[in-house]
Structure 1
């Protein structure tokens, strides 16, 4: 399944690569990642985790160029952090989970030309799918004044996102497949693209917590990107 998704993404980016108005961007930037903590999908700002993304994105105009299809393939960091108690007390704990994914966004955007005719403002939305490939869980703190610290690789389970079946459910395990919706906006100049993106995850993070009745425990990622056309 991984190979199939990667091949589809690369094919979409390369599609009509020789067309005059099509562009492919080398893209990277800053992520502010978080995880929803309430049944309605809200987050706590204090849990935000700084991360990054890097990869390729295409801009493929449709028709007269009012619309564009923007597929991509990105290596992107998600996750969150949390803390209970104060570091100056005898009992506190601080934890960070930082998974990394290969993510495939597929956005449809509306283009608004700017005065120089080679630049435009764009805004749009679309779905994304992602595969977890790496990451770490870090924990540190004190218990009755005794310091402790641990760092472990994230264990991913291969739960099928199209069914309710869970494979290898258990504490400390994270589902490998993530999916959700994107909102994106930015400016594209002659050879440079600047954009903002918000990823709204729809898949539960942890195996063993398959509860579709609420939006708790899902990825939320705000990204700022810079792209250079190839």
Structure 2
């Protein structure tokens, strides 16, 4: 966790150093974070008995907004991003609820269109782009007939999940003239993230999907 915070602070310092104008191009940086609503899209042999539901991790990170004019910008970011899902399995013998919380270092690059609302900088923005997520750590909270246990999850060739998740992200938001922004974001994971884990349900594939509400401030 300390190394993650150090990386985020280093990125923030880098963005700050570029928070200036270069000709007609303006570069600002910002801090953003919020609550996530995440789930898995699962393929499993006994699909009828498996019900993926939401998990509730969080996200926090930095972004740099490279503004070319009032209507277009490119926004690379780096986030400590929470993903996961609640996976319910029901049989005639027992009920199992697994809560997966996976933490990634996510780097999206969004192409952003802006709709100016006044001359001071207030605008509505929307856009999207690709992301790459690098797996850091995770946990699984397992409940069988009201008995709960918790274990750590790992990434990599010998881990539970693959180290990399690829996909597309989209954003719709509102930004004030002072730089405060509120946005709705959706990540669509394209990768099967399962490595050696089958989610204890014989799953052959799991893809991430994350909806998150974010509040940020640009400087």
TM-score by length of 1: 0.75
Q: 1:27 aligned to 2:32? A: yes
Q: 1:120 aligned to 2:126? A: no
Q: Distance in 2 between matches of 1:218 and 1:37?
A: 7
SS of structure 2 residue aligned to 1:156: coil
Q: 1:183 aligned to 2:147? A: no
Aligned to 2:81: 76
Q: 1:220 aligned to 2:209? A: yes
Alignment of 1:201-220 (within 5 A): 201-207=189-195, 216-220=205-209
Q: 1:152 aligned to 2:151? A: yes
SS of structure 2 residue aligned to 1:168: coil
The list of structure 1 runs, each at least 4 consecutive aligned residues, that deviate by more than 3 angstroms after superposition, is 9-16
Alignment of 1:1-230 (within 5 A): 10=11, 13=15, 16-19=18-21, 21-37=26-42, 47-62=53-68, 64-85=69-90, 91-142=94-145, 148-157=147-156, 167-168=157-158, 173-190=160-177, 191-207=179-195, 216-230=205-219
Indicate conservation of the 8 Å contact 1:13/1:71, yes or no: no
**Richer in strand (by share):** 2
Aligned to 2:4: none
SS of structure 2 residue aligned to 1:49: coil
Q: Distance in 2 between matches of 1:138 and 1:45?
A: 16
Aligned residues: 198
Aligned to 2:201: none
Q: Give the deviation of 1:114 after TM superposition.
A: 0.5
Q: Distance in 1 between matches of 2:217 and 2:18?
A: 19
Q: Distance in 2 between matches of 1:14 and 1:179?
A: 27
Indicate conservation of the 8 Å contact 1:121/1:188, yes or no: yes
Indicate conservation of the 8 Å contact 2:125/2:174, yes or no: yes
C-alpha change, 1:14 and 1:204, in structure 2 (3 Å) is farther
Gaps of 5+ in 2: 1-6, 45-49, 198-203
| Cα deviation 1:58-85 (Å, max 9, x = unaligned) | 22102x2321011111111101002234
TM-score by length of 2: 0.79
Q: Distance in 2 between matches of 1:13 and 1:201?
A: 27
What is the alpha-carbon root mean square deviation over aligned residues?
Answer: 3.1
Q: Give the deviation of 1:229 after TM superposition.
A: 2.1
Indicate conservation of the 8 Å contact 2:39/2:83, yes or no: yes
Aligned to 1:3: none
Indicate conservation of the 8 Å contact 1:183/1:197, yes or no: yes
Indicate conservation of the 8 Å contact 2:76/2:109, yes or no: yes
Indicate conservation of the 8 Å contact 2:55/2:84, yes or no: yes
